[in-house]
Structure 1
């Protein structure tokens, strides 16, 4: 991993190269293709579910009134689409069981 606590595209490609034995270029291409397909599916409004990992879910949030915490002035918040991630039970179990660094 390049940064402590951060997994990058390069890290994923390197792991694919190491574990599967593909060339570094082919590994990087596969990682890019997977991420591109995920992004395109989400942009079409589809959810992305990766079994044993989790689900990326799109939610439409309606317009609402917010408040500036500093001034207390009410401001309208426009409707928008947000992306959320819900970890699978298997992922949650692995995270809970992982030692704290």
Structure 2
């Protein structure tokens, strides 16, 4: 599903025109990115939590030369689905 598909579904379900729905979806995504860029986490009950995690430094390996390469610590965004969300989709079959 793409963002355009999401906008279409929301528009059909709410009766709000697609242009307005697209503005709201874009604003939501921007707010999530902006908040996480400031170091905040976002919890949407019944859906999941966006958090930042710090990965420890480690020693990696260049697959071409087999040379060891230091990989510095870094912060990465993560998402954890809520238990309610997981339970809702656990019995859905994939194609």
What TM-score comes out, normalization by structure 1 length?
Answer: 0.84
- Within 5 A, what are the aligned runs for 1:18-37? 18-37=12-31
Q: How many Å apart are 1:69 and its aligned residue?
A: 4.2
Aligned partners of 1:96, 1:56: CA distance in 2, in Å?
A: 21
Q: Secondary structure at the residue paired with 2:93?
A: coil
Aligned partners of 1:100, 1:28: CA distance in 2, in Å?
A: 28
1:68 and 2:33 aligned? no
Moved over 3 A (4+): 69-72
Q: How many Å apart are 1:99 and its aligned residue?
A: 2.3
**Cα-Cα RMSD:** 1.4
